[in-house]
Structure 1
Amino acid sequence: MDIHLVVKIVHMSSAALAMLIFVLRASTLFIGTQNQQPNPKGHVGFVAMQHLSYTLLVVTGVALLVMNKFQVQPWFYAKIVLFLVLLSSQIKVYKKDDSILLAQRRAGLMIGIIAFVAIISLIIIKPVFG
């Protein structure tokens, strides 16, 4: 099997894992919350899996970028910006700070959902700009 295909499969699998963990971790904002904080059960496991999936996503993404000799479509840059928005929203949502209200955390989660959906849409549609 071609190495490019293997890296692409690992990249897509890590994206699927990231999406699954995103949903599972989001449930902690609605079930068993304590003092404006997400449910602490499974916290370590969710964090570890989310870090693993995002790390794999970035490493395989960079590897694919190098394999393609940095030749990308214009929508690629929008995907990178949306990925940074997704990461930023996740950091804000799950920050251990009692001053952040649960409603604010859920609003940040909605921003993350919108970013994730936009990334998936860009990948599926592959718009042509200009």
Structure 2
Amino acid sequence: MDAHLITKIVHMSAVSLLILVFVARAATLFIGVQGQQPNINSRKSLVGLQHLSLTLIIVTGAVLLFMKNFVVEPWFYAKVILFFVLWSSMSKTYKQDSNVLLVQRRAGLLISTVALIGILGLVMIKPVFA
């Protein structure tokens, strides 16, 4: 196999891992909530897996971008913006701060969900802007 295909497989595997971790962390906002904080029983492992998947996505995405000589489709820029929205809202949703209400965390989860679905939709549809 060539390097481009291997990098693409790692990239998509990291996205799959992110989706699994996203769902698992979202469950902590609804199951076993303690006060205004999410369930903390499996926090460290979920945070580690989330950081691993996001790091792999960023690194392999940059490598793929380099392999394509930075030639991208116009929808790529929307995907990058949505990725930053996803990243930002997830960091604010799960921030360890007792001042953040549970309803605010769930609203952040909604924003993250919309951003993730938007990214997946862009990748699947690959719209053409003419």
Q: TM-score, normalised by structure 2?
A: 0.99
Question: 2:121 aligned with 1:121, yes or no?
Answer: yes
Unaligned stretches of 5+ in structure 2? Answer: none
Question: 2:22 aligned with 1:22, yes or no?
Answer: yes
Q: CA deviation at 1:22?
A: 0.3
Instruction: Report the AA paired with residue 123 of structure 1.
Output: V
Provide the secondary structure at the position in 2 that maps to 1:29.
coil
Q: 1:12-31 CA deviation, whole Å, 9 max, x = no partner?
A: 00000001000001100000
Q: CA deviation at 1:3?
A: 0.6
Instruction: Report the AA paired with residue 67 of structure 1.
Output: M
Q: Which residue in the other structure is 1:103 paired with?
A: 103
RMSD: 0.5
- Inter-partner Cα distance in structure 1 for 2:75 and 2:18: 21
- Inter-partner Cα distance in structure 2 for 1:92 and 1:47: 13
Q: Which residue in the other structure is 1:82 paired with?
A: 82
- Inter-partner Cα distance in structure 1 for 2:92 and 2:61: 24
- Inter-partner Cα distance in structure 2 for 1:97 and 1:49: 21
Query: How many percent identity over aligned positions?
Result: 57
- Inter-partner Cα distance in structure 2 for 1:40 and 1:8: 33
Structure 1 segments, 4+ long, off by >2 Å, are none
Q: TM-score, normalised by structure 1?
A: 0.99
Instruction: Report the AA paired with residue 82 of structure 1.
Output: L
Q: CA deviation at 1:74?
A: 0.2
Provide the secondary structure at the position in 1 that maps to 2:95.
coil
Q: How does 1:53-68 map to 2 (within 5 A)?
A: 53-68=53-68
Instruction: Report the AA paired with residue 79 of structure 2.
Output: K
Instruction: Report the AA paired with residue 129 of structure 1.
Output: F
Count of aligned positions: 130
Q: Which residue in the other structure is 1:45 paired with?
A: 45
Q: Which residue in the other structure is 1:36 paired with?
A: 36
- Inter-partner Cα distance in structure 1 for 2:44 and 2:98: 19
Q: CA deviation at 1:97?
A: 1.0
Q: CA deviation at 1:115?
A: 0.2
